[in-house]
């Protein structure tokens, strides 16, 4: 394969090949799967001997048409304003239809995010194997947050003074679900630079979910995360949680929120304690730096963010070359290499220039 | 009686925010009720952290100082009981404005 030939690489678990070896439609595909399995076993033995984690990369084109994407099912629960998870089941794949706006938004957001991953990256759900998407709404009382707990999404109603309901923004839903994708792929550690990359990747893909739902080009997009989540207040800036285009400018409300602390350049990187009180080394703060790099790459490529920049970032996340302890510099190098593989020297130059704008 | 409580990991600030309040007399009975319901002074100091694969989850602490007794409880979105969650929510609603 030459560097100029577009190539997507996936991490494929052996049981997929075991299934293909028996069930694939054509003899050629069954043989392909048998050879891949043999290669996995050979590599596994070798890597175990070398103490290296086993990851197998194959050309996604080889899989096209062989494995039909699994159907992604969705369930939405309500916690009835308690902290009990998952709570009471309300709807499965949108049935029965609910009149509760938070339930409708949670379900629609999960569906659009799953559709985005499938149509853009041929990925079935967060684990690549059609994992059921579970969402719980009305969590706790006036809870000002949304989170991924390792197996499902959880959304608070907001306090109605500073925050509106957390299902309101599809990019927030895409952000939380992408934490699941990262969990099943690069599994980036949740502290310091790998933690900030983890957060940034959730913003990157969450923003693309929103942009695709609005059919926006990179130039048309607002590049805001959580726009509309704050309850507006006269005289203060409550635009959004974060700005990927201009980190550090999303909000400025001295009495209620303070000022957006995100840096946009490595020269402004914030060294914080690796504790809950220090945001585990500023994972939600220093993510502004790789966020800005992705914005610059998307603008540099032009068109829709998911067509080129998104594919580069996805390849970096899922291709197996990114360690769970990756630094910003590691991620920079992996994205440049992925861009070279996918889009040749010109693509690599776009990504390299994007990282240079943030000091990397 | 004084109560201090903190949250960390929630947007938009993510860093720890702490409040400290002398409980007004007219709210004392409600605080006593939460202390009794949660068995606050019998709880371990740490209820444990968040799930290893949890992301964007909050962590919390509540400290109660009542004459000769003082106790701090640390918990998270993964480990909070319904009663502790209700106690924390009540503090936010009723005492935060006094801090």
Pairing of strands A242-243, A224-225: antiparallel
pLDDT band of A19, cuts 50, 70, 90: low
Q: What is the pLDDT of residue A7?
A: 32
* H-helix or E-strand spanning residue B84: helix B82-94
Task: Mark whether A145 and A213 lie in a shared domain.
Answer: no
Least confident residue range of A28-42, A96-110, A234-248, B42-56: A28-42
- CA of A276: which chain B residue's CA is closest? B8
Which regions in chain B score pLDDT beneath 70?
none
Residue among A215, A203, A227, A209 at smallest CA distance from A304:
A215
Let me know if residue A330 belongs to a domain: yes
**Domains of chain B: total:** 1
Helices A309-318 and A101-121, axial angle in degrees (round to 10): 90
Q: Which of A6, A56, A8 is nearest to A33 (CA)?
A: A56
pLDDT of residue A44 exceeding 50: no
Residues A245 and A157 in one domain: no
Smallest Cβ–Cβ distance between B51 and the set A149, A199, A250 belongs to A149
Residue B11: domain span: 2-98
User: What gap in Å lies between CA A275 and CA A313, rounded to an integer?
Assistant: 28
Task: With respect to residue A198, please indicate whether it lies within any of the assigned structural domains.
Answer: yes
Task: State the alpha helices, DSSP H only, in chain A.
Answer: 14-23, 27-50, 60-63, 101-121, 170-184, 192-213, 279-282, 288-301, 309-318, 328-357
In a domain, A97, yes or no: yes
How many residues are given for chain B?
A: 99
Chain B within 8 Å of A176 (Cβ-Cβ)?
Answer: yes
The CATH code of the domain that includes A123 is: 3.10.170.10
Domain assignment of residue A184, yes or no: no
Are residues A198 and A283 part of one domain?
yes
**Whether A274 contacts chain B with CB within 8 A:** no
One domain, residues A95 and A226: no
Tell me whether strands A74-78 and A133-139 are parallel, antiparallel or unpaired: parallel
Q: Is the preceding omega at residue A180 within 30 degrees of 0, hence cis?
A: no
User: Tokens 């050309």 appear where?
Assistant: A59
The pair of three-digit structure tokens given for residue B87, joined into one six-digit string: 């106690």
**Rounded-to-integer distance, Cα A351 and Cα B78, Å:** 38
Average pLDDT, stretch A263-281?
97
CA distance A66 to A26: 9
CA pair distance B99, B96, nearest whole angstrom: 5
A185 within domain boundaries: no
| Domain range enclosing A40 | 9-63
Out of A145, A251, A279, closest to residue B15 by CB: A279
How much of chain A exceeds pLDDT 70, in percent? 81
pLDDT level of residue A60 (50, 70, 90 thresholds): very low
- Kindly state whether residues A311 and A245 are assigned to the same domain: yes
Question: In whole angstroms, what is the distance from residue A342 CA to residue A5 CA?
Answer: 7
SS3 B96: helix
pLDDT surpasses 80 at A77: yes
Verify that A92 and A55 share a domain, yes or no.
no
**CB-based contact, B46 to chain A, within 8 Å:** no
Q: How far is CA A194 from CA A97, A169, A295, A322, A328, in A?
A: 40, 25, 19, 10, 7
A153 and A54 both lie in a single domain: no
Q: Is residue A181 part of a domain?
A: no
Q: Predicted confidence band at A29 (pLDDT cuts at 50, 70, 90)?
A: low
Q: Which of A176, A179, A199, A296 is catalytic?
A: A176
Averaged pLDDT, A95-116: 98
By the 8 A CB rule, do A86 and A136 touch?
yes
Would you place residue A27 in the very low, low, confident or very high pLDDT band (cuts 50, 70, 90)? low
- Determine the Cα–Cα distance for residues B80 and A220; give it in Å rounded to an integer: 42
Beta strands in B9-55 (DSSP E): 17-22
pLDDT 10s digits, A301-359: 999 999 999 999 999 999 999 999 999 999 999 999 999 999 999 999 999 999 999 99
Which carries the bigger pLDDT value, residue A57 or residue B74?
B74
B26 to chain A, minimum CA–CA distance in Å? 23
Predicted confidence at residue A251, as pLDDT, reads: 97
DSSP, collapsed to helix, strand or coil, labels residue B40 as helix
The one-character DSSP state at A95 is: B
Average of pLDDT values for A191-217? Answer: 98
Q: Which pairs count as long-range contacts for A26-35, CB under 8 Å and 24+ apart, including other chains?
A: A29/A66, A32/A62, A32/A66, A33/A66
pLDDT at A78 over 60: yes
- A71 pLDDT tier (thresholds 50, 70, 90): confident
Give how many domains chain A has, as a whole number. 3
Show Cβ contacts of residue A23 under 8 Å, excluding neighbours closer than 6 positions: none
Which among A117, A152, A167 is the end of a domain?
A167
- Here the ipTM equals 0.92
Boundary residue ending a domain (A167, A201, A230): A167
**Domain harbouring A308, CATH code:** 1.10.390.10
Average pLDDT, chain A: 88
Residue A83, min C-alpha distance to chain B (Å): 6
Q: Is A191 a catalytic residue?
A: no
Residue A203 at interface with chain B, using a CB cutoff of 8 Å: no
**Mean pLDDT in residue range A1-16:** 39
The Cα A347–Cα A337 span in angstroms is 10
Q: How far is A137 from chain B (nearest CA, A)?
A: 14
A205 and A136 part of one domain: no
Active site residue A48: no
Tell me, what DSSP letter sits at residue A141? T
- Indicate if A121 and A223 belong to the same structural domain: no
Give the tens place of pLDDT for each residue, A166-203: 999 999 999 999 999 999 999 999 999 999 999 999 99
The model's pTM is 0.85
State whether A209 and A336 are in the same domain. yes
């Amino acid at each position: 394969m030459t560097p100029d030939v577009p190539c997507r690489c996936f991490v494929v678990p052996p049981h997929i090949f075991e299934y293909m070896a028996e069930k694939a439609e054509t003899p050629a595909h069954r043989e392909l799967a048998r050879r891949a399995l043999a290669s996995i076993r050979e590599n596994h033995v070798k890597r175990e001997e070398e103490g290296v984690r086993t990851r197998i990369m194959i050309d996604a084109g080889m899989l096209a048409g062989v494995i039909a994407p699994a159907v992604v099912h969705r369930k939405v629960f309500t916690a009835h304003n308690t902290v009990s998870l998952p709570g009471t089941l309300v709807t499965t794949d949108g049935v029965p239809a609910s009149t509760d706006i938070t339930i409708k938004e949670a379900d629609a957001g999960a569906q659009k995010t799953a559709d985005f991953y499938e149509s853009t990256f041929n990925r079935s759900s967060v684990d690549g194997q059609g994992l059921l998407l579970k969402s719980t709404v009305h969590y706790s009382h006036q809870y000002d947050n949304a989170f991924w707990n390792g197996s499902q999404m959880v959304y608070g109603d907001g306090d109605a003074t500073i925050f509106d309901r957390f299902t309101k923004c599809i990019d927030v839903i895409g952000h939380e679900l992408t934490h699941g994708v990262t969990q099943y792929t690069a599994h980036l550690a949740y502290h310091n630079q790998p933690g900030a990359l983890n957060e940034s990747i959730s913003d990157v893909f969450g923003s693309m979910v929103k942009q695709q739902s609005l059919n926006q080009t990179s130039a048309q997009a607002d590049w805001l995360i959580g726009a509309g989540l704050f309850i507006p207040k006269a005289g203060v800036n409550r635009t959004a949680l974060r700005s990927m285009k201009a980190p550090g400018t999303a909000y400025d409300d001295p009495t209620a929120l303070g000022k957006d602390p995100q840096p946009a350049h490595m020269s402004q990187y914030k060294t914080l304690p690796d504790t809950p009180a220090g945001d585990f080394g500023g994972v939600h703060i220093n993510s502004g730096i790789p966020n800005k790099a992705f914005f610059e790459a998307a603008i540099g490529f032009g068109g829709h963010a998911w067509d080129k920049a998104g594919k580069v970032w996805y390849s970096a996340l899922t291709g197996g070359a990114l360690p769970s302890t990756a630094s910003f510099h590691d991620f920079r190098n992996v994205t440049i290499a992925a861009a070279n593989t996918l889009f040749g020297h010109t693509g690599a130059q776009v990504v390299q220039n994007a990282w240079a704008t943030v000091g990397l | 009686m004084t109560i201090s409580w903190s949250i960390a990991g929630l947007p938009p600030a993510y860093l720890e925010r702490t409040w400290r309040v002398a409980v007004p007399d007219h709210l004392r009975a409600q605080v006593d009720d939460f202390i009794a319901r949660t068995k606050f002074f019998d709880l371990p100091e740490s209820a444990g952290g968040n799930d290893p694969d949890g992301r964007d989850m909050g962590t919390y602490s509540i400290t109660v100082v009542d004459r000769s007794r003082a106790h701090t409880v640390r918990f998270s979105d993964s480990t909070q009981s319904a009663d502790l969650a209700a106690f924390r929510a009540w503090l936010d609603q009723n005492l935060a404005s006094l801090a």
